[in-house]
Structure 1
Amino acid sequence: MELLRERRRLTVVEISERFQVTPETVRRDLVELEQTGALRRVHGGAILLDNEHGIPGLAQRTRIMAEEKTAIATAALEHMPTSGAVLIDAGSTTGRLADLYPGGPQLVVMTNSLPIAITMAGKPGAAVYTTGGRVRNDTLAEVEMLTLRALDEVKVDVAFVATSGITVDHGFSTSDVSESAVKRTMMASATRVVVLCDHSKIGTALFSRFARIDAPDLLITDSGIGAAQLAELRGAGLDVQVAEPV
């Protein structure tokens, strides 16, 4: 845990070599530590958790899987209309999409993320609306009644939605019920739903499900996804686009 606090992310191989134990021992220890809420296991290792909800804060999540998130966001630009209206969910990968968006002739953007709103407000041709609502300290996402009410009154062409976990059995999930409700309402307000998620979250089931596995129109993930995971998701009826490194 001391090493993880220093580096924020460790692989099973790094831990095994550092402490001269087998990878199997490391994996068992990571399972036990995850159960205490100290870390989250991801593909090939673990990341540090440092808030009460068990999900890294926004600044920390922005640093994790940065290259993968750039690849996913770049691929997502293909699905961003040049005109019409979109919803952009709060999240580090959706935030990267906002960073990369070059601007267009005329696009209405609604978001429940204060950082994304600020970013999109600087893009040519973008008319930006926030949903309103209570702002969560850790994610800077707007949630609860005012947010849901605003989303219930709009219809958009595409919703770009973030998720903290994906499994075939549990579907798409997050640890916070209020954020889950926002994601569910966003999906209902959109003609097309595109979920952006790096491969480390695939195989993780969190407390609050906001969609079943075949509900979104498309999942965009990165090339770190395993072949078996990809086959399982597609076999469950989910359209998956694998973004290649930029």
Structure 2
Amino acid sequence: MADSIKSEAHLALCYWMNIEEMEWEESRHACQEKGGDLISLDTDEKFMYLQEAIGNDNRTYWLGGRKVSSGWTWLSGVEISLESPFWHVGQPDSQSQERLCSGDCPDVVGFHFVQHLALCYWMNIEEMEWEESRHACQEKGGDLISLDTDEKFMYLQEAIGNDKRTYWLGGRKVSSGWAWLSGVEISLESPFWHVGQPDAQSQEHLSSGTTYFGSFGMDDESSSTKRSSICEMTRK
């Protein structure tokens, strides 16, 4: 077996992760020189195995998928459904792109990637005021997180678990009420507010944390309060 090629018996799969950056055709030629081809993730099992194997690797890899007259297909000949759950949100997004790649978060230390949410996030435990926290996120190319879907909120709820810190979020008071930095309105009827929140007309920004009873939810606080923070970043 060629050097650096790995084998997975339960998938009848031999694969090699080439970290040298090349164009798609060059990458394919490098595979063919070793007697293979760019990988076709033509079963759910292969995709999920590679997803786990790559882990927190922040590189983006060429795959053996390409556009054909009828849509998209793997080099193995298996059609790639546009309804596949393995597309990132909003993908494929360009008629001019003809090859498939797969990647995680931009190459910034500390960010974690959540595949099913297409979410890159970083939990900054250093306590700062709201504006300082936002600046720290922006310096990394992101912003304070907007928990603008139930799925994102519930994922972070589970990820934080029993962590007793309180984190700044990307929510703030606007003339019409409350909104995330993404522009999505925050309903006062949201089930994610802590009981009795928001409770002060003078508080202008949102934090989120656990109580000693372990319930995770949102509070309004003064922006001068020093808290940890959660940032998010757009995947490249």
TM-score, normalised with respect to structure 2: 0.26
TM-score, normalised with respect to structure 1: 0.26
The structure with the larger Rg is 2
